[in-house]
Amino acid sequence: MDVLDTLVAQAVGLDLDTLEVRYKNGHEEVFAIRGHVGFGIARFPGTSCEATSLRRELYGIAKRRRGVVLAGSELEIRVRVYDDFGEDAFRVEIRSARRRRA
Task: Please determine, for residue 1, whether its predicted confidence score (pLDDT) is greater than 70.
Answer: no
Q: What is the secondary structure of 70-90 as a DSSP string?
A: ETTEEEEEEEEEEEETTEEEE
81 with 58: CB under 8 angstroms?
yes
Q: pLDDT grade, residue 63 (50/70/90)?
A: confident
d(CA 3, CA 58): 10
Domains in the chain and their CATH numbers? 3-96 (3.30.450.90)
Q: pLDDT grade, residue 53 (50/70/90)?
A: very high
Rounded to an integer, the average pLDDT of 73-86 is: 92
Question: What pLDDT does 90 receive?
Answer: 97
